Amino acid sequence: MPRPLSGLLALPLAQSCMELAAREVAFELGSGGVGMSSRPLHEMPGTDGRLGKPAAYDAETLDEVRSIEQRPTLPTGVLTTAWEGEAA
């Protein structure tokens, strides 16, 4: 959802690749799972190990307004606060 005053959409992006190995899952209560037996995580090529990328996009044009690449990944959400001045 865009921030009402700025018109920006803030997203926690993960710059990673995952190997998936399918497995059979019984369709019965309690068998659960996502149908994968292993999920090794690898850094995305060209990121130099920076797996997390919090980014802000213009909600109308979807142009990237600002972002920062960081080592920790962001498996959750983003909370934005007000800022003043021009977007960098």
Delimit the domains of the chain by residue range: 8-67
Token reading at 85 = 């001045």
Ordered per-residue pLDDT tens for the chain, 88 residues? 555 567 888 899 989 888 777 777 778 777 766 655 666 778 899 999 899 999 999 989 999 999 999 998 877 777 777 665 555 4
Query: What are all long-range contacts of 31-40, with beta carbons under 8 Å and residues at least 24 apart?
Result: none
**In this structure, what are the phi and psi dihedrals at residue 78, rounded to the nearest 5 degrees?**
-125, 135
CA-wise closest residue to 74 among 58, 50, 56: 50
Distance of CA 30 to the CA centre of its chain: 29
